[in-house]
Structure 1
Amino acid sequence: MDLRIFTEPQQGATYDDLLRVAQATEAAGFDAFFRSDHYLKMGDGDGLPGPTDAWITLAGLARETKRIRLGTLVTAATFRHPGPLAISVAQVDQMSGGRVEFGLGAGWFDTEHTAYALTLPPLKERFDRYAEQLEIITGLWKTPVDETFSFSGEHYTVVDSPALPKPAQSPAPPVIIGGGGKKRTPELAARFADEFNLPFASPEAALAQFERVAAAAEAVGRDPKEILRSVALTVAIGRDDAEVARRAGAIGRDLGELRESGLAGTAAEVVDRIGQWREKTGITRLYLQVLDLQDLDHLELIASDVAPQL
């Protein structure tokens, strides 16, 4: 089971905060450091000192880490044009020596769009644009160096692009697609995804969505086993019940609810819960949503008491 650390810096974190967590993630032996791609806080808190840009952050971390994978859960297709986004991600992949993984979603948080002069189209158009972005970005990366790439869609047109620069990974960084949509999301995952991620769902809901993705893959002649299954869950792990309660309280979560919907408890309890997830859904990768970025002891505890048992 791959264990990855997943952060939500829009809730209030500087680049230096993220650097400390990323370096602690690497030192503790985790597989990867991921971050959300949002420009506005959600829920309680003031969000200070303000958002950090996902790909600028990952570019910095690419030069200040050596081993861990780096990526987004997930970049919103509404934030950036596909051509410049392909360039940015390819460059960060080069800067990291080929450690980038590219999560892309359709976009959804309307308030952050109005707060930062971004357009959030109606759902159908949003998915149409999302599908075209996937076509363009992966097409640019996979075009041979001595050839050009063109694309004609309803929303985007590419004419004789040199399709440069290339990412370090060949033919492209792994693409992560996720979400609970029952039709178009599985269809896009079947075409483009190396990994399908379902965040903050129950095992039953996750299994149903994984099966939709598998059916969509079979429909296009692809082996469903080529698409890795993963989930993201909020964590609050402690050496005893008091420490678990303290960590849940520090992130403003009800402990009972978090035990039910996330990964809360002692190491033994969480290991058992992860085992149930794997048995029910077939996941082989888990993103641990760590919301208190000052609590590096939390990461060390997971690395020492949870990871070895998996």
Structure 2
Amino acid sequence: MRLRIFTEPQQGASYDTLLTVARATEDLGFDAFFRSDHYLTMGGDGLPGPTDAWITLAGLARETGRVRLGTLMTAATFRHPGPLAIGAAQVDQMSGGRVEFGFGAGWYEDEHSAYGIPFPATARERFERYEEQLDVITGLWDTPAGETFSYTGRHYQLSDSPALPKPAQAPRPPVLIGGTGPKRTPRLAARHADEYNVPFNSVEDTSAAFERTRAAVKDSGRQAPMVYSAAQVLCCGRDDAEVARRAAAIGREVDELKANGLAGSPDEVADKIGRFAEIGAERMYLQVLDLSDLEHLELVASRVAPQLG
């Protein structure tokens, strides 16, 4: 089981704060530093304001040396697919091939209206655009150097693109697709993803989602392996008082976090991660909401990670 740190900077974090957490992630031996891709807080004042996911990752690419860097999940509604493919490929080059491309359809309408970003009126159109963007981005990356890429879709058309620049990773950075949609998401994951992620669900519901995607992979005839992962909010403490303090700092209740996240003592957290491992999860994204609490990361690195083998 590989442990990855997952942050939500739209709740309020500067680049310097994210850099501090990313460096701690690296120094403490975690596998990766991931961040959300949002422009509006989901509670609270959000000060000092949002940071852009790909600008952040570009900076971290030059200021870290080992950890994988990625998004859970970049929103298809935020960017055109061609420039996004260029930007992500450049960050992959800047990092020496450490980028992982988590990509989703986009869903938070309020942040679109807050910053003047068009938001497709229906979920169907959002998913259509998302699917076409997956075709375009992976198509650009997969096109051999010296050849061109063209695409004709309902929403996006490309003609004789040089499909440059190329990412450092060949043929492309790993693609992550997540969610619990019963049909379209497993189908798209089977077609495009290197990793399928289930965020913030119970072990039982995560297992069911994994099985749907495993079935889609089998039905597609795909031979390449799929990595399965889960994301859970983290609230670990040496004793009950420390757990309660960390829960209060993020505005949550301990009992609720134990039911819906990774909460409790290091042994309790390790035990629940083990339950996810039993259903096939190979990576766990630990959602860290209090970015000032680096001791939280140190506790997990010293007391939880060694129990996971």
TM-score, L = length of structure 2 = 0.98
Number of aligned residue pairs: give it: 307
Q: Deviations over 1:136-155 (max 9, x none)?
A: 00010011111000000000
Q: Deviations over 1:25-77 (max 9, x none)?
A: 0000000000000000002x100011000000000000000000000000000
**Alignment partner of 1:283 out of 273, 278, 281:** 281
Instruction: Tell me what 2:243 maps to.
Output: 244
The one-letter code matched in structure 2 to 1:69 is R
Instruction: Tell me what 1:220 maps to.
Output: 220
Instruction: Tell me what 2:192 maps to.
Output: 192
Q: Could you tell me how far apart the structure 2 residues matched to 1:124 and 1:272 are?
A: 39
Query: Deviation at 1:219?
Result: 1.4
Q: Could you tell me how far apart the structure 2 residues matched to 1:235 and 1:273 are?
A: 11
Query: Deviation at 1:81?
Result: 0.1
Instruction: Tell me what 1:35 maps to.
Output: 35
The one-letter code matched in structure 2 to 1:298 is H
> Counterparts in 2 of 1:81-230, with a 5 A limit?
81-121=80-120, 122-223=122-223, 226-230=225-229
Q: Could you tell me how far apart the structure 1 residues matched to 2:115 and 2:165 are?
A: 28
Q: Could you tell me how far apart the structure 2 residues matched to 1:249 and 1:182 are?
A: 35
1:300 equivalenced with 2:307 (yes/no): no
- The percent identity for this pair of structures is 69
Query: Deviation at 1:227?
Result: 1.1
Q: Could you tell me how far apart the structure 2 residues matched to 1:235 and 1:264 are?
A: 6
Q: Could you tell me how far apart the structure 2 residues matched to 1:113 and 1:77 are?
A: 12
Report runs of 4+ in structure 1 exceeding 6 Å deviation: none
> Any idea what SS the aligned residue of 1:159 has?
strand
Instruction: Tell me what 1:254 maps to.
Output: 253
Q: Could you tell me how far apart the structure 2 residues matched to 1:219 and 1:119 are?
A: 36
Query: Deviation at 1:119?
Result: 1.6
Alignment gaps of 5+ in structure 1: none
> Any idea what SS the aligned residue of 1:196 has?
strand
- RMSD of aligned Cα (Å): 0.8
The one-letter code matched in structure 1 to 2:39 is Y
Q: Could you tell me how far apart the structure 1 residues matched to 2:196 and 2:55 are?
A: 24
Q: Could you tell me how far apart the structure 2 residues matched to 1:213 and 1:31 are?
A: 24
Q: Could you tell me how far apart the structure 1 residues matched to 2:219 and 2:265 are?
A: 42
> Any idea what SS the aligned residue of 1:236 has?
strand
Q: Deviations over 1:81-114 (max 9, x none)?
A: 0000000000000000000000000000010011
Query: Deviation at 1:169?
Result: 0.1
Query: Deviation at 1:277?
Result: 1.9
Q: Could you tell me how far apart the structure 2 residues matched to 1:297 and 1:116 are?
A: 35
Query: Deviation at 1:278?
Result: 1.5
Q: Could you tell me how far apart the structure 1 residues matched to 2:305 and 2:214 are?
A: 28
The one-letter code matched in structure 1 to 2:284 is L
Q: Deviations over 1:165-207 (max 9, x none)?
A: 0000000000000011111111100100000001000111111
Alignment gaps of 5+ in structure 2: none
> Any idea what SS the aligned residue of 1:301 has?
helix
Q: Could you tell me how far apart the structure 2 residues matched to 1:259 and 1:194 are?
A: 30
The one-letter code matched in structure 2 to 1:112 is E
> Any idea what SS the aligned residue of 1:270 has?
helix
Q: Could you tell me how far apart the structure 2 residues matched to 1:259 and 1:243 are?
A: 14
Query: Deviation at 1:272?
Result: 1.1
TM-score, L = length of structure 1 = 0.98
Instruction: Tell me what 2:20 maps to.
Output: 20
> Any idea what SS the aligned residue of 2:212 has?
helix
Q: Could you tell me how far apart the structure 1 residues matched to 2:236 and 2:183 are?
A: 35
Instruction: Tell me what 1:69 maps to.
Output: 68
The one-letter code matched in structure 2 to 1:123 is A
Q: Could you tell me how far apart the structure 2 residues matched to 1:196 and 1:187 are?
A: 11
Q: Could you tell me how far apart the structure 1 residues matched to 2:182 and 2:118 are?
A: 24
Q: Could you tell me how far apart the structure 1 residues matched to 2:60 and 2:138 are?
A: 23
